A and B are shown apart, each in its own frame.
Chain A
Amino acid sequence: MIVAGVDIGSQTSKAVVLKGDNIYRSALFPTGTDLYAVARKVVENAAQELGHTFDDIQRIVATGYGRVSVPFAADTMSEITCNAVGAYHFYPDARVIVDIGGQDSKAIKLNDEGKVVNFAMNDKCAAGTGRFLEVAAETLGVSVAELAALSRRSGNRIRISSTCTVFAQTEIVSLIARRTPQEDIAAGLHESIVSRVYGLVNSIGPGDTGRVVMTGGVARNDAIVSLLANAMKREITVPEDPQIVTAFGAALVARSRVGSE
């Protein structure tokens, strides 16, 4: 049985094509403006990686903010459920998932069966998301990866008071003008994003047992992961490929629904 999950995020589109229980390949492209085209392309690519074609896929589930623009998907499902299904598959002891994507962040609480029992999403702007770091890195003239490295070298983390991405940019410019060391600005930016995400995690009542898993593109930023782990006073597990967990969950949902109609 070959199925696929496609996750059309605001910044990147991901697909996982799954064969049988455990054989899978994934693909990832920037989302751009033509959601249909990118959805098709990303699924085709993942299928090719697996030595198959698009037509071999029996069922596709779409998720992510662009899920409604994937006409070839049999179903759509929210990224909350797909992320939970994906993370629980890799870590059956996962009870809290923190997902920080391009333009949103989520905290999800699971019960012992892997069902979502509570979740929260960032309110209405890019504060506490990957976009915040991207804008900040651009303003400092470094890459996001360099920003994380810079932050680790800081000896005097400064406080970024604006949580709004646009206002934070202005604040960074004025800090640069005051010759604040880049390392300290970078550390402040990481702290800012983590304080937002920590608030989000707390709002779901994370409890104090069970594994905490972090997914989404920002999970690759180890400075963010360790700051959040410190704030939560818990270890955080990052899957090998944190960006495809939601698409993987969508593929698992597709698999469970093959032949259901």
Chain B
Amino acid sequence: MQLILDKLKLRYSRRNTEIVKWKDDTGGKVIGCLPMYFPEEFVHAAGLLPVTLFGDDGPIAHANRHLMTNACGAVRGTFEDLLLGKYDDLDGVAAVLICDQVRFFFQVWSLDHEFDFFHQMWRPFNIDQSSRPFLLNELKRLKSALEEFTGNAITPDKLCESIRLFNETRSLMRALNDIRKTRPGLLKASDLVKAIAAGMIMPKEEYNSILKELITQTRDSDYESGEKPKVMVCGHPCGMPEEEILDLIEEMGAVIVGDDFFTGSRYFSVDVPCSGDPVEAYADFLLNLIPCTTYHYPQNWIGQDRSISTYGDYVADHVRENGIQGVILLREMYCDPFDLEFVMLKKKLEERNIVHITLNTGHEAGSLETQRTRIQGYLEMLNC
């Protein structure tokens, strides 16, 4: 089991060189997709390899010159990689404009670097049926752009085939995630996020067979259950959560049994419906994802059942339904969608008596030793 996890982690850490290798082996083209929610299936159906772009979490030496001071880690990290030439082997880049930071800086990308394919997909911020026609239109625009770039028609059959393949990936990821719920502590959270992220940069065909083997081996592993407090970790909308923080939480005696990371539940919780027109189905999929701080839910603002935070409700329900004792909020510094939701989220957790703690994360977020004290103090609070 650990051997496969280590292999996937290695693939993740070598993600940029893997692209070159894949291109040499297959002669194919690669499109880099910025987190989050990019319709990778469309890229795949056009005969291209979609890879998610994760920025480096090391020091930022070049990007700061071009970006506003309050740019988030995901934005800084990917821009730094672009300036360092790490994306030179990509044939194109694409992004769903999920927040103002991505909207702004992705446009700067096009000024700094010429790609053969460059696509910005708009998406509605309000999640309700009135947004559907706009979303559908954007998906059609993406489809046409990819068809024009490749010369390949994205037929409904091809798109359905890709959707089925990606649904299989999501379902395998869910199966792996279920193991950590039923056998808490068997899989390290930091291993799991990297194993999921590896699936976003590898060809799904290859990844799915590796994941099947991993699931078999994980199910067969010896396991000793313990009485550790179960926590959910959420926040950190894009990019890779810090391995050190996840490890600290588990070293200090808790087990992470739930998350809402992009490299976690956010990516694999919902499948694309396989019936009817696949473009329409994809629009429905994007409107029915798990609640996210980058979306607004206007239906909840009016009427009697309104909620101050749909996202907060989702987190609180998840905690209650899964017998989780507490929530650790990773507050990615300078992520404005999360920050704007943060106060309402905290209020919601307080209302529902859910013990929580906030850890600031991201570039230059503070010393690990202070985080250790916070985490230990929090877990002692849970155990009391």
Task: Point out residues on A near B: beta carbons under 8 Å.
Answer: 65, 76-81, 104, 115-117, 119, 121, 123-124
Asked if B381 and A121 make an inter-chain contact with CB atoms under 8 angstroms apart, the answer reads no
Q: Are B373 and A65 in contact (CB under 8 A)?
A: yes
User: Does the CB pair A124–B381 fall under 8 Å?
Assistant: no
Does the CB pair A121–B370 fall under 8 Å? yes
Q: What separation, in Å, do the CA atoms of A124 and B367 have in the docked complex?
A: 7
Contact A81 B380 (CB under 8 A): yes
Q: Are B384 and A115 in contact (CB under 8 A)?
A: yes
* Inter-chain contact A119/B365, CB cutoff 8 Å: no
Which residue of chain B has the shortest Cβ distance to A123 in the bound complex?
B366
Q: Is the CB of A80 within 8 A of B380?
A: yes
Given A115-B384, A123-B360, do A80 and B369 touch, yes or no (CB 8 Å)? no
Asked if A78 contacts B365 (CB within 8 A), the reply is: no
Contact B360 A78 (CB under 8 A): no
> Which chain A residue has the least Cβ–Cβ distance from B357?
A119
1/0 contact string of B365-377 vs chain A (CB within 8 Å):
1110110011011
Pull 9 A–B residue pairs with CB atoms less than 8 Å apart, ordered by A.
Answer: A77-B376, A78-B377, A80-B380, A115-B381, A115-B384, A119-B377, A121-B370, A124-B360, A124-B370
Interface centre among B370, B373, B374, B384 (most CB of A within 10 A): B373
Q: Contact: A78 with B376, CB < 8 Å?
A: yes
* CA A115 to CA B370, docked complex, whole Å: 21
Closest to A125 in B: B366
Contact check, B380 vs A124: say whether CB atoms are below 8 A apart.
no
Give Cα A56 to B6, complex, Å. 47
The listed residue (A115, A116, A121, A123) touching B373 by CB distance below 8 A is A121
Q: In the complex, given contacts A79-B373, A116-B377, A116-B384, what are 8 additional A-B residue pairs having Cβ atoms less than 8 angstroms apart?
A: A65-B369, A78-B373, A78-B377, A78-B380, A80-B380, A104-B370, A117-B381, A123-B366
- Chain B: which residue is nearest A111 at the CB level? B384
> Which applies to chain B's interface (DSSP): helix, strand, loop or mixed?
helix
Min CB distance, B20 to chain A, in Å? 38
Report whether A121 and B380 are in contact in the complex, using a CB–CB cutoff of 8 Å.
no
Distance from A101 Cβ to chain B, minimum over Cβ atoms (Å): 11
Closest to B376 in A: A78
A residues in contact with B381, CB < 8 Å: 80-81, 115-117, 119
Q: A78-B373, A80-B373, A124-B370 are in contact. Are A116 and B380 (CB under 8 A)?
A: yes
Given contacts A115-B384, A116-B384, contact A81 B369 (CB under 8 A): no
Per-residue CB contact flags for chain B residues 340-384 toward chain A (1 = under 8 Å, else 0) read 000000000000000000001000011101100110110011001
Question: Which residues of the partner chain B approach A78 to less than 8 Å between Cβ atoms?
Answer: 373, 376-377, 380
When distances are taken between beta carbons in the complex, the residues of chain A under 8 Å from B370 are 104, 121, 124
Bound-state Cα–Cα, A121 to B369, Å: 12
List chain B residues, Cβ under 8 A from A117. 381
> Which of chain A's residues have a CB closer than 8 A to the CB of B376?
76-78, 80
Contact of B374 among A76, A115, A121 (CB under 8 A): A121
What CA separation (Å) do A116 and B381 show in the bound complex? 6
Q: Is the CB of A124 within 8 A of B365?
A: yes
Contacts of A123 in B (CB 8 A): 360, 366
Cα separation A123 to B384 with both chains bound (whole Å) = 25
A104 to chain B: which residues have CB within 8 Å? 370
CA distance A19 to B369 in the complex (A): 32
User: Closest residue of chain B to A80, judged by CB?
Assistant: B377
Expressed in whole angstroms, the Cα–Cα distance for A81 and B377 within the complex equals: 6
A77-B380 contact, Cβ under 8 Å, with A123-B360, A124-B370: yes
Bound Cα distance A121, B377 (Å):
11
> Top 10 closest A-B pairs, CB basis?
A124-B366, A80-B377, A78-B377, A78-B376, A81-B380, A115-B384, A116-B381, A78-B373, A65-B369, A78-B380
Complex Cα distance, B380 from A115, in Å, reads 10
Q: Enumerate chain B residues within 8 angstroms of A79, measured Cβ to Cβ.
A: 373, 377
Residue among A65, A77, A78, A104 with the highest chain B CB neighbour number at 10 A: A78
Interface residues of B in 16-33 (CB under 8 A from A): none
CA distance A115 to B378 in the complex (A): 12
Residues of A contacting B365 in the complex (Cβ-Cβ under 8 angstroms): 124
